[in-house]
Amino acid sequence: MKTRIKEFRARYDMTQEELAKLVGVRRETIVFLEKGKYNPSLKLAYDISKILHSRIEEVFLFED
* Total of domains in the chain: 1
- CA gyration radius for the chain? 10
Distance in angstroms (rounded) separating the CA atoms of residues 16 and 10:
10
- CATH at residue 37: 1.10.260.40
Give the domain extent around 24.
2-61
> For 3-42, what is each residue's pLDDT tens digit?
999 999 999 999 999 999 999 999 999 999 999 999 999 9
Banded pLDDT at 62 (limits 50, 70, 90)? confident
Q: pTM of the entire structure?
A: 0.92
